[in-house]
Structure 1
């Protein structure tokens, strides 16, 4: 997908695809040609579709295609790149028309309806020998609740550390070199910061999202994939603690309507003590907020599970392909350790292959802001998981956010709010 955009926004595409993909696209993956056997000779012509990558990475992908064709004489790869906007619509139309490319760039939420329609090859059956090459959390990210199998090779990953303001921590009497790492530590420090600043400094500027519930250790969905479970006792506990933060002004008063831009401005003006960020933000701080830049700390995401959240892209093989061995071989070739490392050095992403994150590129500091952020993120991504359920649509995210708002404002109890959120999300799940 388009590298520059916020990976959180990709989830919306899966919701669209689930609605648009007609029942006529469903099948067992065997009719209309195609085979799940990837053990034959790698030969023939295949199509490979990416998601808005050609503008910035044309030469890289042309090199990948050339390398594959040289490695496997008798193969021909036709590379197609689609615009970022309307990508889900395009996949849905191709799936319905039987013109879906052989190898397709997908995110987990996009692959879910295709897998349910029998159009995504189960790699656990056809390419299980490759699983050992990838980080466990990345391989599992393209598994679908209620279905056996893995439906795409993991490709590039993304995550981000937290920035925190050391000066604000120190002024509150906290150890500026020991920022919170778990939610319990976060809540304690946040209340202290709010108290010592008479409510002028909030620690956070965002309400809890589904990823926060996951990092807190809340079970998000049942194993069958038929219902959500984030309204259990632990989920209620998390929202209750956020309500306490909100009342104490330890959670910014405008958090209910916050955007990435507004929270970034709050952090820039030192009204908020912690906020996600990137190397580009560091450059902005250095120019526009030198005092903040001087006191910037970088720490992993808050997590009570010991594992951070990550976003992942994948490469899926169409079950209808006429050239299964070639399609599987190419999907693996694009996502193997060598190709992923080459790609990661061209753009701010992380490889999903085992061992790649031990490369000095991801472990050694060189004094540059970009490297500070890259090293911090790479350290956490080795064990990170994709907490967002692949079946959790954009509409469901809105339902959760609205319910959280009602709880924070005191219009509903945390328990009532989450019960309603789960009820509405389950309803949307049944409609998809």
Structure 2
């Protein structure tokens, strides 16, 4: 599975067709979860079959053994077009019983009354999950919690020590704040005559959050990332872009293309996960020998985390079985088993205190895992739940205009906020 899927960087969102909106403004349904656990249900995942077929088939077999009379049909959708597929199923009334969602995919489903409110139907399980993970399945403007927390992810920043050293920077003292990052990046670009960029991607909504900008008002009705901090961040990125401290191709970069530039030494820093270390070792031994590992750059003291959940369809004909299965997949035992197969982290209370996440064995892999697990205890999901895929595109386009000098950073962010607020009203 690609890093894009693992870290939920493909957190895309959509606006449900009006024909799918059924419950007004009260949010998801509160179907009766009492009764016998039986019946046929469908479980949908997001790009997981290729690498984890045995795990999920075993999980389903264990559930069906525990609850005779149940049958789980597993369907797995590709990463590409996943949001469109959910939207089409929601409109057609063919949404599976248990659905793998990110918070921004969940939001329109909850607003349309298609997500079961777990605070009403499964409140007894709340204490089993990290408070931040349970709260991460809430939707601004709606009462309730609309998905079982599943896996979490975060990752460090990798940096090329050799490139830092060539630029006269201390390879053992990487930047930890944005001010330090910008200073180091400008120096590296100057020393290399623009050959080496420190960063390969334009700022995203998460960067504005980590920088300290306010992203949204408290009641979730308007975006605010065009505040003084937001403008300051984009102004700094414009300086990097002009100095070639930000890769010239950053405007069209993808995580994969930036990763390749990091491998070849054209970019000095790149976000990633423990999975990447194995790739470095195989594909770029000279980089692996010089790899530095540090925390995400942040002015807030909190790193960014990505969250996944399992939503129970409010219109399922087998609510008890669907609730029981979603809980079974996300309980502490099964999340821990999954975490040992994939570089992700469980959302269940106490799991991050397991020796697997707290003890290093001298390898880089465990170093990354232990550091990430520790940071997750105070991590924040900076991406607003209501920040849709369309809004991400709007922000990216306006950022590009600012970097190219077509608009001032202030005008670009004002335009982005105005367009995102308009899209937000359409969601309602």
The alpha-carbon distance between structure 1 residues 386 and 42, as it changes in their structure 2 partners (threshold 3 A), is: farther
The equivalent residue for 1:223 is: 218
Is 1:140 the equivalent of 2:135? yes
- The superposition leaves residues 234-292 of structure 1 with CA deviations (integer Å, 9 ceiling, x where unpaired) of 11111112122223332222222223233223322323221123445434433454332
Deviation at 1:422, TM superposition (A): 1.0
Is 1:5 the equivalent of 2:1? no
The equivalent residue for 2:269 is: 274
Deviates more, 1:125-134 or 1:415-424: 125-134
Deviates more, 1:373-382 or 1:202-211: 373-382
- The superposition leaves residues 166-225 of structure 1 with CA deviations (integer Å, 9 ceiling, x where unpaired) of 233234443322222222222232233334444443221111011101111222122333
The equivalent residue for 2:63 is: 68
What is the DSSP-based 3-state SS (H/G/I as helix, E as strand, rest coil) of the residue aligned with 2:356? helix
The equivalent residue for 2:422 is: 427
Deviates more, 1:127-136 or 1:206-215: 127-136
Is 1:79 the equivalent of 2:69? no
Is 1:292 the equivalent of 2:287? yes
What is the DSSP-based 3-state SS (H/G/I as helix, E as strand, rest coil) of the residue aligned with 1:398? helix
In the TM superposition, what are the counterparts of 1:246-285 in structure 2 within 5 Å?
246-285=241-280
Out of 211, 215, 240, the position equivalent to 1:245 is 240
In structure 2, how many angstroms separate the alpha carbons of the residues matched to 1:71 and 1:289?
47
In structure 2, how many angstroms separate the alpha carbons of the residues matched to 1:223 and 1:216?
18
- Kindly indicate whether the alpha-carbon contact (under 8 Å) linking 1:146 and 1:223 is maintained by their aligned counterparts in 2: no
Where in structure 2 are there 5+ consecutive unaligned residues?
none
The alpha-carbon distance between structure 1 residues 347 and 284, as it changes in their structure 2 partners (threshold 3 A), is: closer
Deviation at 1:42, TM superposition (A): 4.3
In structure 2, how many angstroms separate the alpha carbons of the residues matched to 1:282 and 1:63?
29
The equivalent residue for 1:212 is: 207
Q: Kindly report the root-mean-square deviation, in angstroms, between the aligned alpha carbons of the 2 structures.
A: 2.8
- Kindly indicate whether the alpha-carbon contact (under 8 Å) linking 1:47 and 1:78 is maintained by their aligned counterparts in 2: yes
What is the DSSP-based 3-state SS (H/G/I as helix, E as strand, rest coil) of the residue aligned with 2:345? coil
Is 1:342 the equivalent of 2:337? yes
- Kindly indicate whether the alpha-carbon contact (under 8 Å) linking 1:35 and 1:322 is maintained by their aligned counterparts in 2: no
Deviates more, 1:402-411 or 1:76-85: 76-85
In structure 2, how many angstroms separate the alpha carbons of the residues matched to 1:82 and 1:339?
19
Deviates more, 1:333-342 or 1:343-352: 343-352
Out of 186, 189, 195, the position equivalent to 2:184 is 189
The equivalent residue for 2:301 is: 306
The alpha-carbon distance between structure 1 residues 292 and 98, as it changes in their structure 2 partners (threshold 3 A), is: closer
In structure 2, how many angstroms separate the alpha carbons of the residues matched to 1:202 and 1:285?
19
- Kindly indicate whether the alpha-carbon contact (under 8 Å) linking 1:121 and 1:318 is maintained by their aligned counterparts in 2: yes
